[in-house]
Chain A
Amino acid sequence: MTTVTIPTIISHDIDTRSHDADGTPRQMGFFTDTSICIGCKACEVACKESNQVPDDGLHWTGESYDNTSAIGCNSWRHVAFIEQTKPVQVPDEQGSGALRWLMASDVCKHCSNAACLDVCPTGALTRTEFGTVVVQEDVCNGCGYCVPACPFGVLDKREEDGRVWKCTLCYDRLKDDMEPACAQACPTKSIQFGELKQLRVIADERVRRLQSRGEEQAQLYLSDSTDGVGGGHAFFLLLDRPEVFGLPPDPVVTTRGLKTIWTSAGGAALTAVAAVALAYLRGRA
């Protein structure tokens, strides 16, 4: 028998090891290609199984097939279902022309410039050797500063234990060169895991291919290291504008102005001190 290598297109043979041969950690990430997501939610379940995340309660929402609704302390992956009744971009389409059902698995973006890290007073939030952002559960004191700092609403406090929980990009598994649970479970490889720079090359190729097929709105989200959060270690290929998926169109790290703010605040404080001192001195005089 001849040995034939199947050229795979969706499931590129991506190196999923988190370390170089010499043990140097790599910058790892997720590329979630929502154009091939089938909405099976295996990522949500695998994440919970692997990370021992509690269930999020049984609430039927009526929001298409989405009963998770949002990323939260007890749902670190969230598959959005968007039913659209508008013409599909593919010309000559009649059968499904009127209807489009988008599915997309959302996750913590592991921003290169992460506001949650900046505001964490205890150091519970750290950037790992793989470039990902992790909450250390034994350090977090539940102050919740990170919650409003996140431009994506990812960080969320679990009231039962008073701490903040989110995707760790399976930090424990990465240490052992294992793929994160969601990526491993994804049947269509909509969630791809690998070295960030390789994923970006694949994503560029993929978006070009889709656009050339007529998916004019196909776009990458957070793949650009010059964007408002410095790019995400988790980035996405979307078939419509980010707002459609509940994602901010132009996210900006909320602590972007921190230096200026502190400089201004510091200046103001110094001025105030000076003013008080002056008044005091004058009073004495």
Chain B
Amino acid sequence: MAECHPVGFQWVMEAKERGAVIIHVDPRFTRTSALADIHVPLRPGSDIAFLGGVVNYILEHERWFKEYVVEYTNAATLINPEFRDTEDLDGVFSGFDAHKHSYDVASWSYEGMELMSAAEDREGAAQAEHNTGEQAGSGGIALKHGEPPQDRTLQDPRCVLQLLRKHYRRYSPEFVEETCGVPKDLFLRVAQALCDNSGRERTSAFAYAVGWTQHTVGVQYIRTAAIIQSLLGNIGRPGGGIMALRGHASIQGSTDIPTLYNLLPGYLPMPHTEHYRGYQQYIEMNAAKTGFWGNAEAYFVSLMKAYWGEAATRDNDWCFSHLPRISGDHSAYTFTRGMFDGTVNGFFVLGENPAVGSSNGRFNREALAKLDWMVVRDFVEIETASFWKNAPEIATGELQTDKIPTEVFFMPAAAHTEKNGSFTNTQRLLQWHHAAVEPKGDCRSELWFMYHLGRIIKEKLRDSAEPRDQPIKDLTWSYPTDGDIAEPSAEAVLAEISGWAPGREYLKGYDTLKPDGSTVCGCWIYCGSYADGINQTARRKPRQQQSYVGGEWGWAWPDNRHMLYNRASADPDGKPWSERKRYVWWDERKGQWTGEDRPDFIIGRAPYYKPPQDARAQDAIGGAEPFIMQADGKAWLFVPDGIRDGPLPTHYEPRETPLANALYPAHVSNPVLQVIEHALDPFNHPRDKPAHDGAFPFVATTYRLTEHHTAGGMSRFVEYLSELQPEFFCEVSPELAALRGLTHKGWATIVSARAAIEARVMVTDRMRPLRAGGRTIHTVGLPYHWGQNGLSTGDSANDLFHLALDPNVHIQESKAATCDIRPGRRPRGPGLLALLEEYRHRAGIEPAVPAEVEVET
């Protein structure tokens, strides 16, 4: 966190000064470790083993927060009798299809509760592809109405708590030591510290940077943390939570109002070709009957009115048929593969540098060379924009400039200081920024680009009679513009996102949205950010003049609630769990919830309210059910649906690993991980056959340095930042340096089946060999910022990595793979390919170069 989020880290330092124990778990000793109380080096890719060990410790030692767990989590809920755990089936859950490498999740359901999406899916053949992930919005999956059966004594072997005990029983401190390379005593110290600092009087927080998700079990990493925090009562309470520290400014914003293919604004699912045959079906499938997703139709119709205005009417299903459809996985690596297949011919690249930042750079760059056209918008000519002239594949002869058909349009972008707009940070806080200066030359904001592009396309299609053009013709596209460059008003866009009722009456919150077409709202969770016609995100009341929660600084979604699920900060009766940790509570006299923050609950819902049997949406939320977006109002220790690779996180090795799976020898890595099958993406070893003494005996991991920004577009071209970390280097332990003859400040070549790259060598005690699986595990640390362009240049670490992905969110596994390292620089030109071939031959890998790729030597 000190490395990647130095500004946020001041609060960690502040907490430390006040007595908080800071624990840093990371394979490397970083700037964060330097300031932490405890540093825990663990083997890359073994986090679920570590966290599962903590779950087991909490359960074995009865350290869980009993009242919180029984009341606020699904610990007591009974699961389908057909469910079988990985402990029963040697590494897979029930429903596993070994041919398709996927699960039928039916047996993971609550007892007697058919899950809506699963029920729908069973009608179709494409169940495995579509039953989860692609369409589950943030609300997860709806439950058929009715209270699921529970055993509040938690004794029934089918209740979630007992399943949890059974699942994690083998995650002992000894197992943690053996699997993670973390000494037992150190592990116990962490587990004890966490438990000692949780409960009524105290809370603990998890903070992670997004590298934690970059594993084939990435979602399950976060799930394990969620289980721990739910068991310890650390969710919805001050000082608790799980903080995802995002990789850029407003990455949270770009999932809320998404750049993701499978979501509409506010986590509404994108319609699907196979499943969403009509509007009614879409609404029925996505509007949970209980919880706040029960109002999904109001959110959706208001969005359609924002998109298509007057054209959207009840008679035409609010222009539902205007929306594009997804037909499966269209995530980054899948559509990049589509460039090879000829299904993707054009590409917009905004604020991203896939030639450097994506795994297996060669795969990405060669894909770009298949396109008809590409538009790159950035501050500088990043490597993605210049691949046609200086990609590493040009030097090896794999690509030739005059044979690349791609027409590249490079459009200079404006910086955040040159435009108005909002950032949404990880805490869901929107903060407005004002343009300080006009952008120079042809630099323009994304808003300018998209607005005018849309305007011009609409003008061109004005007289078209083609039905396919109707959605564009119907789009509402009127935003005032300003100044010589005709910059659209960002505030007008925010106003539309926040929404209005007839007569431009600005909406105060999402509970005012209607399914009858009378309200317009571009993103229901942002509803109220422009309440009263005032830009609420631009508020900047100093902290000294308000509650420490800072409710009058910016605006947090939803409804300016700064902490989600904060009803959990009070006990079932509505009283704070302790005076020390009071946050929101029930005021019996006033008959409403009150406190430091806006209650994330129905304001007048008494703690003792029990919903009637036929209640729907928020009316079905009991007074002691804080998790209002979940159909059962509870935190899910066990996830009955919505996740593709298991209801409980299980330790699997990374796709490339030096070790066998100590728990399940038959399943080394995640049995349902996703693979982008492509000839340019060979693996270092076959699936489920780990290799510890072959061609690729070491572990490689990537990370960021404080001095640079992701793929380097914002730092490698700036003198003051480049001089601080001017060259690509790798970090190795003295032991590994001795083993491979690496010299400090010399050069090393790092090799995988995908690429061979060179880096300067930093030999440091901050890298440590770990003892795991009965052998010594060496890790090569690789900051991933470099490419060919800019002031500070170098090879790209991501070139080494492969395209095995998390099956839920399709993120690559760039934090743990295998490699070799050898002294000296890499060969130039075709010699580089010869070196790779030699390695692949030694590793027994089939020739990787596909027939259609010409290699000229």
Interface residues of A (CB under 8 A from B): 1-6, 8-11, 36, 38-42, 44-45, 48-49, 54-60, 62, 64-65, 67-68, 83, 85, 94-96, 98-103, 187-189
Q: Mark B812-851, 1 if CB is under 8 A from A, else 0.
A: 0000000000000000000000000000000000000000
CA distance A60 to B762 in the complex (A): 10
Contacts of A49 in B (CB 8 A): 720
A67 to B708, CA, bound (A): 14
4 closest A-B pairs by beta carbon, nearest first, are A58-B726, A55-B719, A101-B34, A60-B727
Q: Which of B31, B720, B725 contacts A101 (CB 8 A)?
A: B31
Q: Are A48 and B766 in contact (CB under 8 A)?
A: no
B interface with A by C-beta (< 8 Å): 2, 6-7, 9-10, 13-14, 17-18, 29, 31-40, 183, 185-186, 189, 543-549, 551, 596, 705-707, 719-727, 729, 744-745, 760, 762, 764-766, 791-792
Q: Which residue of chain B is the closest to A79 with respect to CB atoms?
A: B724
Residue of A nearest to B190 (CB): A95
A2, A42, A100, A188: the one contacting B596 at CB < 8 Å is: A2
The answer to whether A67 touches B596 (Cβ under 8 A) is no
Ordered by A's residue number, 24 sampled pairs between the chains whose C-beta atoms are within 8 Å are A2-B596, A3-B547, A6-B543, A10-B10, A10-B17, A38-B6, A40-B2, A41-B706, A42-B6, A49-B720, A55-B719, A55-B723, A56-B723, A58-B726, A58-B727, A67-B724, A85-B765, A94-B185, A95-B37, A95-B40, A96-B29, A96-B36, A101-B31, A188-B6
Bound complex: CA of A58 vs CA of B792, how far in Å?
A: 8
Cβ 8 A contact of A60, one of B7, B34, B545, B726: B726
Question: B31–A94 contact, CB under 8 A?
Answer: no
How far is B347's CA from A147's CA once the two chains are assembled, in angstroms?
57
**Given pairs A44-B720, A94-B185, A101-B31, 5 additional interface contacts (CB within 8 A):** A11-B10, A39-B706, A40-B706, A41-B707, A45-B724
Contact A96 B33 (CB under 8 A): yes
Residue of A9, A40, A41, A68 touching B17 (CB-CB under 8 A) = A9
- Given A2-B596, A55-B719, A99:B765 Cβ within 8 A: yes
Decide yes or no: A67 and B725 within 8 Å by CB, A40-B6, A95-B38, A96-B29 being known contacts: yes
Query: Please, which residue of chain B has its CB at the minimum distance from the CB of A64?
Result: B764
Cβ of A188 and Cβ of B10 under 8 Å apart? Answer: yes
Minimum Cβ distance to chain A for residue B722 (Å): 6
**Cα distance, A96 to B36, chains bound together (Å):** 9
Assess the A41–B724 pair: CB atoms within 8 A. Answer: yes
Q: Which residue of B lies closest to A40 (CB)?
A: B6
B729 cross-chain contacts in A, Cβ below 8 A: 60, 62
A83 with B765: CB separation less than 8 A: yes
User: Which of B545, B744, B762, B791 counts the most chain A CB atoms within 10 A?
Assistant: B762
Query: Judging by beta carbons under 8 Å apart, are B744 and A94 in contact?
Result: no
Min Cβ gap A193→B in Å is 16
Whether B34 and A58, one on each chain, are in contact in the complex, defined by CB atoms closer than 8 angstroms, is no
**Bound: A101/B791 CA distance, A:** 29
Q: Nearest B residue to A13 by beta-carbon distance? A: B544
A136 to B765, CA, bound (A): 44
Q: In the complex, which of the residues A4, A40, A85, A98 contacts B548, with contact meaning CB atoms closer than 8 Å?
A: A4
Chain B residue with Cβ nearest A75: B723
| Least Cβ–Cβ distance between B339 and chain A, in angstroms | 35
Establish whether residues A95 and B186, one from each chain, have CB atoms under 8 Å apart when the complex forms.
Answer: yes
How far does the Cβ of A9 sit from chain B's closest Cβ, in whole Å? 4
A83 vs B762: C-alpha distance in the bound complex, in angstroms?
A: 12
Cα(A202)–Cα(B599), bound, Å? 39
Closest Cβ–Cβ distance, residue B783 to chain A (whole Å): 10
Instruction: Assess whether A187 is in contact with B547, with CB atoms less than 8 Å apart.
Output: no
Q: How far, in whole Å, are A241 and B705 apart by their CA atoms in the complex? A: 28
Q: What residues on A are CB-neighbors of B32 within 8 Å?
A: 38
Contact status of A94 and B189, CB under 8 A, knowing A1-B551, A62-B762 = yes
The interface residues of chain A lying within 8 Å CB-to-CB of B766 are: 83, 99, 101
For A94, the chain B residues whose CB sits under 8 A away are 183, 185-186, 189
Please determine whether A58 and B723 come into contact, CB atoms closer than 8 angstroms.
Answer: yes
Residues of A within 8 A of B707 (CB): 41, 65
Tell me which of B13, B35, B40 has the highest count of chain A C-beta atoms within 10 A of its own C-beta: B13
Contact check, A38 vs B551: say whether CB atoms are below 8 A apart. Answer: no
Give the complex CA separation of A5 and B548 in angstroms: 7
The answer to whether A187 and B39 touch across the interface, beta carbons within 8 angstroms, is no
Chain B's closest residue to A85 (CB) is B765
Residues of B within 8 A of A189 (CB): 10
Let me know if B721 and A45 touch, CB within 8 A: yes
In the complex, what residue of chain A is closest to B721 when comparing beta carbons?
A45
CB of B58, distance to nearest CB on chain A (Å) = 20
Q: Which of B35, B547, B764 contacts A1 (CB 8 A)?
A: B547
Q: Which residue of A has the minimal Cβ distance to B792? A: A58
Q: How far is the CA of A155 from the CA of B173 in the complex (A)?
A: 56
Rounded to whole angstroms, the CA-CA distance of A62 and B719 in the bound complex is 19
Q: Given the complex, which residues of A lie within 8 Å of B596, measured CB to CB?
A: 1-2
